């Protein structure tokens, strides 16, 4: 290549780089580098309204004899079940 074509090629590269730099600077000009905000994501989580959260029900307390009677009736129901399976209900 001749020396003249090398100079033209270098001038074109310089112009392209200058245009790219100018475009980049115009895009960055509108950005704010201040990352401080009045609240963070964790603050927003703390202030989240609890209306959509699951609240587990609290069953009423049973006396010892009532718990035993409930367990006994559940066992009898399981034992006297009329099914064609002789197992405990667990299957693979």
pLDDT digits (tens, 9 = 90+) for 2-21: 555 566 667 788 889 999 99
Question: 12 vs 90, which has greater pLDDT?
Answer: 12
Confidence band, pLDDT 50/70/90 cuts, at residue 86:
low
Q: Output the pLDDT for position 51.
A: 66
DSSP assigned state of 22: H
Confidence band, pLDDT 50/70/90 cuts, at residue 29:
confident
d(CA 13, CA 7): 10
Which residues are CB-contacts of 62 (< 8 A; sequence separation ≥ 6)?
70
d(CA 14, CA 21): 10
* Radius of gyration in angstroms for the set of CA atoms belonging to the chain, rounded to a whole number: 38
Residue 14 main-chain phi, psi, to 5 deg: -65, -40
Supply 36's token pair.
Answer: 């401080």
pTM of the model: 0.32
Q: Output the pLDDT for position 75.
A: 92
Q: What is the torsional sign of CA 30, 35, 37, 40?
A: positive
């Amino acid at each position: 290549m001749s020396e003249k074509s090398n100079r033209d090629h270098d001038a074109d590269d310089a112009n392209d780089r200058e245009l790219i730099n100018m475009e980049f600077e115009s895009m960055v000009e509108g950005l704010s580098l201040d990352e401080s905000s009045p609240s963070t994501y964790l603050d927003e989580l703390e202030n989240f309204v609890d209306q959509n959260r699951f609240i587990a029900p609290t069953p009423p307390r049973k006396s010892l004899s009532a718990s035993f009677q409930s367990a006994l009736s559940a066992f009898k129901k399981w034992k006297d079940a009329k099914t064609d399976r002789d197992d405990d209900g667990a299957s693979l």
